[in-house]
Amino acid sequence: MLINNIGIFKPNTPLREKDLGELSREFNFNVFSPLALTQAALPHLAKAQGKGNVVFVSSINGKTQVPGAGNYCMTKAAMDMMAKMLALEESANKVRVNLVSPGPVATEMLWNLPGTEGKSMDDIRGMLGKGMPLKRIGEVEDIGRACFLLASEDSGYVTGMDFIIDGGATLLSFVHEEH
């Protein structure tokens, strides 16, 4: 089993002003690094006689546009397609490949969001959670359980799936006032 849980998010400038070197570094980190790790693991996973699997941790931001996060959205969208292509290609080797796409999760990454500077994680949980259908943000354990479900025998007939775990965030129509 390989779980690719990698991502870097920094609020950024609009894409028309984006430094291509910085964008390239973010693609290297968010897309090419997990691909390289997966390429190294695949020969070993193929030997697992149908039990080899890869789970990519992506983001709901790979499925939508978020002002100030264009580079993150682009890299996670690329990861989504990469995982689906690998699922198709590696099915011949009986290696399953799936995605977990979290919404907001209580990690240090949230301190990069506008309005969270200097706030405690509990304050951020409350601030973001009140706008969520389930009235909370995700915890690392929520994502871990989903990864292990997809990697388990209980999901032995699942490949190419994108398991969205976002507390209902994608059910909402977000309206952004700043453009």
Q: Per-domain residue ranges for the chain? A: 2-171
pLDDT at 10 over 90: no
What's the pLDDT score for residue 175? 44
Compute the distance between CA of residue 34 and CA of residue 66 in angstroms, rounded to an integer: 23
pLDDT for 54? 98
Residue 23 and residue 127 in contact, taking contact as beta carbons nearer than 8 Å:
no
| CATH number corresponding to 2-171 | 3.40.50.720
For β-strands 96-102 and 53-57, DSSP reports them as parallel
pLDDT at 24: 93
For 56, the 3-state DSSP assignment is strand
Which residue has better confidence, 39 or 171?
39
CA distance 62 to 27: 13
Assess contact for 54 and 4: CB atoms under 8 A: yes
Q: φ, ψ for residue 37 (rounded to 5)?
A: -65, -40
pTM over 0.95: no
pLDDT at 39: 98
Section 70-89 average pLDDT: 96
Count other C-beta atoms under 10 Å from residue 73's C-beta. Answer: 21
pLDDT tens, residue by residue, 34-55: 999 999 999 999 999 889 999 9
Least confident among 80-84, 99-103, 175-179: 175-179
Instruction: Check residue 67 and give its pLDDT.
Output: 80
- Cα separation, 166 vs 149, in Å, equals 16
107, amino acid identity: T
What three-state secondary structure class fits 168?
Answer: coil
Residues marked as catalytic: 72
